[in-house]
Homo-oligomer: A and B are copies of this chain.
Amino acid sequence: MTRMVTALTLHPHRLLPTDPAVRRLAGELYASVRQLPIISPHGHVPARWLADDVPFADPTSLLITPDHYVNRLLHAHGVGLEQLGVAQQDFDEESSRRAFRLLCDHWNIYRGTPVRYWLDTQLSEIFGVTVRPSADTADQIYDQIAGCLATPEFRPRALYERFGIDVLATTDDPCDDLGDHRRLAADPNWSGRVVPTFRPDRYLEPFSLTWNRDVERLGEAAGQSVDDYDGYLTALAERRRYFIANGAVSADHSHPDARTDPLEQTEARRLYRRARTGAITEAEATALRRHLVFEMGRMSAEDGLVMTIHPAISRNHHRPTAQRFGADVGCDIGVRVEFTEALRPLLNAVGTAPRFRLVIFTVDETSYSREIAPLAGFYPSVYVGAPWWFLDAPDAIRRFRAAVSETVGFGKTSGFIDDTRAFCSIPARHDMSRRLDAGYLAQLVTEHRLEEDEAFEVVHDLVDATPRKVFNL
């Protein structure tokens, strides 16, 4: 049997437009920002990795298991999630290697996807892999990565520095004592910046089966009785304060819709009591949740935590998978979302408040030109979030810029957000975004819609001044 081994190479002009004149300028624009530090104001890397700085265990648990982008497509092609170590504790060396072979053997299924692009970049730039993954090269690549992981240069803090990360935000439960963040911040050997993010979803969904228990824990964490609605709100405010004291700059919200309909205080108190006794109906719980999201916005206008919203995902679409493997394993699917009427109550209340800032993310592209860009093009507080999830991909990012720039320009967009659990994919993702913005701007210049000096200023702002301003960094 002949082994088919093909080289893995990254072209310096990858993702730049194909028209030679546009590509030339895009390449110059990209070169001017390629080395700038990474600002990552929203993501899912655990702070513990950096606090403990213990070596990553193995290639699979680093690159495959935690990354639902990778897993979901393998599953779509018939590979069981259990074969990939999802939700498993004891995943031994042999299992890890077998899972890695499955990935390499299915390399073709990622053609045309950004996952392939990110993996190529990680393998080549971080681990120095020079052969294309396949059934034949799987073991060799596995060994090469495993070898790297055993060295000090591949421990989390070393990678953080090598990646040029300036700020990294995590996503955290309001009851979290942020011990990892505190330990890290107190560590004299650590000079990076890892900030927590307040993510209160579960405490705002009174129909959830765990809500009463969650709220109890919230009260304990805040040292505040949550027996009544006012105490509960105080507890939320207190935990926000605690997060801010520990470096948090934003609060993130993800619910089935984007509505923010406030209730009368008496009605809110009544529904809270019903929820605490377990008697609340689903419709009442939805009404209370929409009110609570309004209250979160009101608090943001006061305490200055930037409000980010990621609504309208059908979570855990395939229940049998969620029951067996838990949440966030790739069976979340987009649904339509409405922002214009949904956000109206909140924006009428605090849309022009000086400290309020709202960043809107969507997986429903139709809202970009119709709703989000017009909202950000009027309200000083509103920013267009970078393409999220399925839309964090080259063609989708181009569509995003083409859909929003004509209505809001560049200054009311959020800057790139990687939103990832896959630590090693962070540089590849930010690099992809920089290439695409450079390409979009080069196109504008070549069509004489923008001058060259302006394009250089914009491409720089988008990776530096913009995210710093939007997230107060």
Contact = CB atoms under 8 A, between A and B. Distances in A.
Contact of A447 (B10, B15, B330, B333): B15
Interface in A32-83: 72-73, 75-78
A377 interface: yes
Most B C-beta atoms less than 10 A away, residue of A116, A320, A447: A447
A97 to B, nearest CB: 24
Output the residue of A19, A111, A114, A458 with the most chain B CB within 10 A: A111
Most buried by B among A15, A112, A393, A454: A112
Contacts of A174: none
A33 to B, nearest CB: 16
B450 A112 contact: yes
B369 A73 contact: no
Contact of A109 (B333, B365, B411): B411
A67 to B, nearest CB: 14
A3 interface: no
B369 A340 contact: no
Nearest to A383: B76
Copy number in this complex?
3
Nearest to A348: B319
B374 A409 contact: no
Given A111-B458, A391-B369, A377 B318 contact: no
Nearest to A73: B377
A18 B22 contact: yes
Contact of A73 (B331, B336, B393, B409): B409
B380 A370 contact: no
A363 B458 CA distance: 27
A341 interface: yes
Given A112-B405, A331-B378, A373 B390 contact: yes
Interface in A400-452: 402-403, 405-412, 443-444, 446-451
A268 interface: no
A363 to B, nearest CB: 6
Contacts of A447: 14-18, 394
A167 B381 CA distance: 41
A76 to B, nearest CB: 5
A408 B393 CA distance: 12
Nearest to A79: B380
Interface centre among A19, A333, A364 (most CB of B within 10 A): A333
A451 B131 CA distance: 13
A77 B379 CA distance: 8
A356 to B, nearest CB: 12
Contact of A380 (B78, B347, B363, B399): B78
Nearest to A71: B378
A366 interface: yes
Nearest to A363: B370
A375 interface: yes
Contacts of A391: 369
Interface in A78-118: 78, 108-114, 116-117
B113 A333 contact: no
Interface string A385-398: 00000110111100
Given A111-B450, A340-B317, A443-B18, A411 B374 contact: no
A192 interface: no
A448 B318 contact: no
A202 interface: no
A153 to B, nearest CB: 28
Given A317-B347, A377-B390, 8 more contacts: A14-B449, A18-B443, A109-B409, A111-B409, A111-B450, A314-B340, A320-B352, A370-B390
Interface of A: 6, 10-11, 13-19, 21-22, 72-73, 75-78, 108-114, 116-117, 132, 314, 317-321, 330-336, 338, 340-341, 344, 347-348, 351-352, 363-366, 369-371, 373-380, 382, 390-391, 393-396, 399, 402-403, 405-412, 443-444, 446-451, 453-454, 457-458
